[in-house]
A and B are shown apart, each in its own frame.
Chain A
Amino acid sequence: MTPETLGAASVVYVALMFLLAHAADRAAAAGRWRWMDRPVIYTLSLSVYCSAWTFYGAVGYATRSGLEFLTIYLGPGIVFAGAWWGLRRLVRVARLHRVTSIADLISSRFGKSAALAALVTLIGVLASTPYIALQLQSVSMALSAFATSGHPLPGNIALWVAVGLAAFAILFGTRNLAANERHHGVVIAIAVEAVVKLAAFLAVGAFVLWGIADGPADVLARIDRMAVSAGGEGWQIRPERWFTLIALSGAAVMVLPRMFHVLVVEASDENRLRQAGWAFPAYLAAMSFLVLPIAVVGMDLLPRGSNPDLYVLALPLSQGRDTLAALVFLGGFSSAMSMVVVSAIALSTMMANHWLVPLWLWLRQTALSEPAQAREDLGTLMLNARRLAIVAVIGAGWLYHRTTGGTTALAAMGTVAFSGMAQVLPAMVAGLVWRGATRRGAIAGIVAGALIWGGAIFLPSLGLAAPPAFPAGIDAFAGAVLLALAVNLLLLVLISLVDFPDPTERLQALSFVHAIAPDAAASETAPAVQAEALLTLAGRIWGNDHALEVFRKAAENQGKSGYLPDLTPRFLADFERHLAGTVGAATASALMARVGGRGSVTVAELMEVAGEASRAREDNRRLELTSAELARTAAMLRESNEKLTVLSAQKDAFLGQISHELRTPMTSIRAFSEILMEPDLPAADRSRFAGIIQDEAARMTRLLDDLLDISVLESGRAQLKPGVVNLHDLIERALAAGGASAAGRDFAIRRNPLAEHLPVITDPDRLLQVLINVISNARKYCDAGEPAIRIDTRRSPQGGTEIDIHDNGSGIGPENRALIFEKFARLDDPSRAGGAGLGLAICKEIMGFLGGSISYLPGQGGACFRIALPPRPPRRAENAENATG
């Protein structure tokens, strides 16, 4: 087995992972994610904890320091034994606030502080860079184990590994900007890699345990022989290290960016912790206890001076088991790959949300809600920021590997990362259990802890500073960690005790500690914010469809129809949290402030909210439900009442309108027919007047047809004639019919003919009638200088069909949107007078008849009507033939 063959094998392996991740992403997009969304996938994805450090380094660690390597797995073991008690709380609070990363969690808890988020991100990046370098190094190091002498390895393996992994992370980690940071493809790939690395490690462990050694008893005997051997004193447990490392690894399993990502951000609900609580420790235990036989047998069998970090590969190779060694290589490659990919995704989210986007917002002080035609796509901007960050993170890892080039023991690099990220732990835990913990306290603690870590652990690990001198008998690493954490905690507590936090922070503290989602302060009204401006902002981040869906649901919950919910404090708070799920709490808060000049909370309002929140907690839950139900009904009633009031005013006008619409052609007909009776009329006049009579009679017929049509539709007596039709042909016909009646103006028609070729099952004549009506409406009323009509068609995920017809005019004002679908509703705007206002009313009736809907889409920078059809038209009881009697 040559390094080249293995290299080729790993390329094939990565390609398979690409395919797998791609398939999973597609399945998720098609809504077939459910069967993959199982607790076991979640549990397996947690195994990114076991990076290449575990795979290769743990054996080296055990060889040098004995049982101490177990501390790295005992810590998570303890934390997960309390999964249902502690971790569940963390997951619940984080999901409540739609937290995107560990930095976002800390920042959100401490008053959505942008500074804190940037600080935690900095620590994360600093601590992770050597750790990522380690993964890249492990791949080339492992390949070197296969190299025969005189056959040098290709030079830049680490670079190619870095490029490949960056491509993977970019492709599957930044595919789209979802409102929750979940990456199905990546998670599935990690789960499969978890199985590969476990299988590989079990195989090599079993081979060593029973194939080389004589079972567990023999291994235990070999361990006891260590006590008296030359290297044995290294195996002696040092109490302060034992304790410190268990605490560190317990912290690391929660706060390392990649662990927080799989543990909290990718969790679809807290319930899967029930399985992960025992299955993940079982996974860790299996991996870690098999390290012992490999370590002791390796020490006994392999020549002195061989690298203990490579015993996992060297043992099967020394026994001529090339295939096993190749499997082990793939296992090690898997652990490196999943660690790098998840770390890169987690860190890039942090860097983009907490460094790049705030910087961009600060540089550009424009209003974000302008629905300008040439608006930039914020979503793409954020995705590109993440892509850049992924390249930066992995690139930094590679550069680190390049410049140090060293082969320092793998374990040391891992503990450096652990101890760095652990500086976040006091703030996180205090933030979750103590309402009194404040932002200034957290910043002071983290900064002091991070500085001590930097000076006493990080720089010495780079060889840039000497490790600090502690009194004899105290280990330098354990001493530095304990000192940093102690100072960190002390500052956090002391400063919090004397501090007085601002109201936003106190609201967040209440929400995090009691795991409840409070409304924003009740009296916090921001009349400047229009729901439409928020919709535009949301559209720029999530894309229009998703934004419209979110707004429609919110409106529905308030009992309103359409796409614009009332701007209640609850809706605003929910919307901000939803936004935070994409860009982080601090940025979401800044965006809201930018769009609406959202007023800041005052202490008095805060106390009111807090009082309400605690009362609500005591209240019977049913009462809350009832009152929500009541509020919904009230909103519904209010809406229909508003409509009724306007309608009753129109009701009087209705008969007058019909009378007017009929009398007008009648007047011309009567006048001209009398004129025609006069004897001495020139022949040319005579025929012209006859023509006018004919036209006016036709106009009356049309009006009567429309009236009959709408009364038939309204009474439900219409006949549905379903058929299959190509939407493209229908739109062609509608445009041709509309073109014939268009007066003068040249309209640019923007279509995507390819996307229009959709077979639709519906009543084609009725749908055509709707299309003609809407298109001719746009032609009649679009007031743009260079008028244009855009037609978009698409299949909805539920199998229905949606047709959006936009124009670039000034659109329809909010006050008229509820009226345009009513009979004879003419808008006040003089340019819109004329023509019986029956068109849209008929469209609405027809669409209801076809089982679909027609609605006005706000916030599109012009008038836009969405025509939505179900997959197939409804069956009507009245229409069913009662042949059976």
Chain B
Amino acid sequence: MRRLFLGRDAYRQRRLGDAIRVLPVLFAVLAVLPPVWLPQYFSYARGAVWLAASWALTIAATAVLHRAIGRAKPEDEDDA
């Protein structure tokens, strides 16, 4: 049974899970949309810098979130 309201830790845990779900979608948007939308603009050095920067940020964010989710005790994974 899912409880209706959670304590602070469990609540944080849920929001961490949300963030982890948003991450790939965000990165997909960053990596796909600009080059598809403005190919002229993103085909050369600017595109390389853009992709490198957004990928590096994504990797860093993933690392931070994955560490955080590892520290917290895994809660009931009914919704996995």
Interface residues, chain A, with chain B CB atoms under 8 Å away: 66-67, 70, 74, 77-86, 88-89, 92, 220-221, 223-224, 226-227, 235-239, 242-243, 246, 271, 274-275, 277-279, 281-282, 285, 289, 292, 515, 617-618, 620
Contact = CB atoms under 8 A, between A and B. Distances in A.
B44 A78 contact: no
Contacts of A274: 66-67, 69-70
Contacts of A281: 55, 58-59, 62
Contacts of B24: 78-79, 81-82, 85-86
B58 A77 contact: yes
Contact of A243 (B32, B47, B65): B32
B4 interface: no
B40 A85 contact: no
Contacts of B21: 82, 85
B62 A224 contact: no
Interface string B10-44: 00000001001101110110011001110110111
Nearest to A515: B80
B56 interface: yes
A88 B17 CA distance: 13
Given A84-B20, A237-B35, A285 B56 contact: yes
A227 B43 contact: yes
A78 B27 contact: yes
B51 A81 contact: no
Interface of B: 1, 17, 20-21, 23-25, 27-28, 31-32, 35-37, 39-40, 42-45, 47-49, 51-52, 55-56, 58-60, 62-63, 65-67, 69-70, 78, 80
Contacts of A221: 45
A274 B68 CA distance: 10
A274 B69 CA distance: 9
Given A246-B31, A282-B59, A220 B40 contact: no
B45 A220 contact: yes
25 contacts: A67-B51, A74-B31, A77-B27, A77-B31, A77-B58, A79-B24, A80-B62, A85-B24, A92-B80, A223-B45, A224-B44, A224-B45, A227-B44, A235-B44, A237-B39, A243-B36, A246-B28, A275-B66, A277-B66, A278-B59, A278-B63, A279-B63, A289-B48, A515-B80, A618-B1
Nearest to B63: A278
A226 B44 contact: yes
A223 B44 contact: yes
Given A81-B23, A86-B24, A281-B58, A70 B51 contact: yes
A228 to B, nearest CB: 10
B70 A78 contact: no
Can you list the 6 inter-chain pairs with the closest CB atoms, starting with the nearest? A82-B24, A278-B63, A220-B45, A237-B39, A81-B24, A278-B62
A92 B60 CA distance: 25
B48 A220 contact: yes
Main DSSP-derived SS at the A contact region: helix
Contacts of A282: 59
A77 B55 contact: yes
A84 B48 contact: no
A522 B1 CA distance: 24
A239 B51 CA distance: 15
A13 B43 CA distance: 40
Contact of B48 (A86, A92, A223): A223
B80 A67 contact: no
A375 to B, nearest CB: 44
B59 A246 contact: no
Contact of B51 (A74, A92, A515): A74
Given A77-B55, A239-B37, A278-B66, 12 more contacts: A66-B44, A67-B44, A78-B31, A81-B58, A84-B65, A85-B21, A85-B24, A220-B49, A235-B43, A243-B32, A281-B58, A285-B56
A432 to B, nearest CB: 12
Contacts of B20: 82, 84-85
A220 B70 CA distance: 39
A394 B44 CA distance: 39
Nearest to B67: A274
B69 to A, nearest CB: 7
Given A81-B23, A220-B49, A74 B55 contact: yes
Nearest to A89: B80
B42 A237 contact: yes
Contacts of B78: 617
Contacts of B36: 237, 239, 242-243
A235 B27 CA distance: 23
Name which of B45, B48, B58, B78 has the most chain A CB atoms within 10 A of its CB.
B45
B23 to A, nearest CB: 5
Nearest to A84: B20
A864 to B, nearest CB: 45
Contacts of B62: 80-81, 83, 277-278, 281
Contacts of B58: 77, 81, 281
Contact of A237 (B25, B43, B55, B80): B43
A122 to B, nearest CB: 31
Nearest to A236: B43
A791 B23 CA distance: 62
Name which of B39, B43, B49, B56 has the most chain A CB atoms within 10 A of its CB.
B43
B59 A285 contact: yes
A82 B31 contact: no
B68 to A, nearest CB: 10
A627 B39 CA distance: 62
B42 to A, nearest CB: 6
Contacts of B60: 278
Contacts of A85: 17, 20-21, 24
A246 B23 CA distance: 16
Contacts of A78: 24, 27-28, 31
B47 A67 contact: yes
B49 to A, nearest CB: 7
Nearest to A77: B55
A236 B39 contact: yes
